Amino acid sequence: MKKIKLFSCLITGLILMIGFSSYSQNKQKVDSLILLINKSPDDSNKVNLYFSLSRQYDVFKSKENIEWNLTALNLAKKISFDRGIKRHYVDIIRFLFQRGVYDLAIAYYHDYETYLIKNNYNDELFASYNMYGNLLSRQKKRTEALKYYHKARAFQLLRKDYPKYANVLNNISILYLDNGSYDSALVYSSIAVSIFKQNNSSSALANSILGIGEIYLKKGDLKNAESKVFESIDIYQAVNEIHGLCNCNYVLGQIYLQSGRYDEAIIATNKALRSAKELHFLDIERNCYNNLSQIYHLLNKDSEAYKNHVLYKSVSDSLAAENLQGKMLEMEVKYDISKKEDQLKEQQFEIDSKIKQRNYLVLIVLVILILFFISIRAYSQKKKANKVIFEQKKLVEEKQQEVMDSIRYAKRIQESLMPKEKYMQKVINRLKGL
């Protein structure tokens, strides 16, 4: 017993050491990235550093992921880095979707959609419709979600991107399943399965086959449901995907419960429970305890039924606490985003004010330069006009001088030709004496 306790302590210590080492390495990487960011100019490389930094934080446990993504998006917009803008819009929307902040995710999606339309990024626009359909589906806007799923489906088919086309078909199937339209759900899932088989997409194929199993379970066709679940299990085991196996065993437990095969239901549900604990899937863990409680109650094993019911309540409380923590984180994210947006608006207002001031200054300088140019030109034209006037005046004066000279010259000639006045008087007097 002492050896077992000692071994347990050693394992616990090793796990703590590994956890601390992982935390230490992560912190070093974060510090290193922040140091590089602080030294970098505002360019595409800095946007990429922000992206790397955002990747260091868990989407479900912190808000730093989205904060760094927002910072990266705003810098990408500032420097017109298109690839960065598109990438960070998608990352922010995905973060908000995973956190369940659907209203804010839709608001960012509309911003992203506007950006894509404005810049004629039609491929990215049509590809984004699948993501938008998921958002609408989570908000129970099924009719509108279906419209966008079909747009995305048509686009992927046109591009001949068959795996993505099949993913959209799966989403449509889930939508019909949630709506109780089991036959329609079965049609779309079956087409998706055939496509994934042709494209050797193991995990996606197993997931689609399991989806068909769940549809059969809802329809009450337990034989086909069981067959599809085992088909899915074979594929998941081949690729060693614990998450998928966990879901398969949980569905299998439900099938056995409904068919009255209680011992097999206990085995399958316990398998799912172990995987759920390992993966920290509290919702599946809670449901497993609830199913086990029902099974043991049907087997008249009340003590086991009660024990599992207590565990069910305990996990339900943990899940409620985690959901509350998640809601608080969601509120913090919304508050921080709103605060950041307000800060950005203030910064943009300051930038716009500075731009306006600069524009006014440029305008004033431009007006002064225009007035100066007009004055110079007017002065030049006036100078030319004065020169013309001076030359014309000089010409007139010269002509006038010539005229005066001519008059004087004619007068002299006249005076030389006409007799003197005294002589003429003598002549007149002499004539009178006669």
Distance CA 304, CA 175 (A): 37
Distance CA 215, CA 193 (A): 14
Distance CA 352, CA 70 (A): 21
Distance CA 113, CA 126 (A): 10
The pLDDT, as a whole number, for residue 9 is 43
Can you spell out the DSSP letters for 290-314?
Answer: HHHHHHHHHTT-HHHHHHHHHHHHH
DSSP code of residue 434: -
CA atoms within 13 A on the CB side of 102: 12
Residues with Cβ within 8 Å of residue 297, at least 6 apart in sequence: 305
Judged by DSSP in three states, 179 sits in coil
H-type helices in 79-121, by residue range? Answer: 82-98, 102-118
Taking the mean position of all CA atoms in its chain, how far away is CA 224?
Answer: 42
Count other Cβ atoms within 10 Å, centred on residue 55: 14
- Which of 109, 139, 101 is CA-nearest to residue 326? 101
Distance CA 290, CA 292 (A): 5
The pLDDT, as a whole number, for residue 294 is 94
Distance CA 240, CA 193 (A): 20
Distance CA 283, CA 209 (A): 22
The pLDDT, as a whole number, for residue 360 is 73
pTM of the predicted protein model: 0.66
Question: Residue 364 burial (CB < 10 Å; 0-12/13-18/19+)?
Answer: exposed
The pLDDT, as a whole number, for residue 262 is 95
Residues with Cβ within 8 Å of residue 406, at least 6 apart in sequence: none
Judged by DSSP in three states, 174 sits in helix
Distance CA 176, CA 149 (A): 12
- Which of 162, 207, 164 is CA-nearest to residue 189? 207
Count other Cβ atoms within 10 Å, centred on residue 305: 18
Can you spell out the DSSP letters for 28-82?
Answer: HHHHHHHHHHHHS-SSHHHHHHHHHHHTTS-TTT-SHHHHHHHHHHHHHHHTT-H
Distance CA 420, CA 64 (A): 127
The pLDDT, as a whole number, for residue 1 is 39
pLDDT tens-place values along the chain, 434 residues long: 333 344 344 434 434 344 444 445 578 888 888 889 888 898 999 989 988 888 888 776 677 887 888 888 888 988 999 999 999 899 988 888 887 788 888 889 999 999 999 999 998 999 899 999 999 998 889 999 999 999 999 999 999 999 999 999 999 999 999 999 999 999 999 999 999 999 888 899 999 999 999 999 999 999 999 999 999 999 999 999 999 999 999 999 999 999 999 999 999 999 999 999 998 888 899 999 999 999 999 999 999 999 999 998 998 887 666 555 555 555 555 556 666 555 555 555 565 566 667 777 777 877 787 877 787 877 777 777 677 777 777 777 777 777 777 777 776 766 666 555 666 666 666 666 65
Distance CA 55, CA 310 (A): 38
The pLDDT, as a whole number, for residue 152 is 94
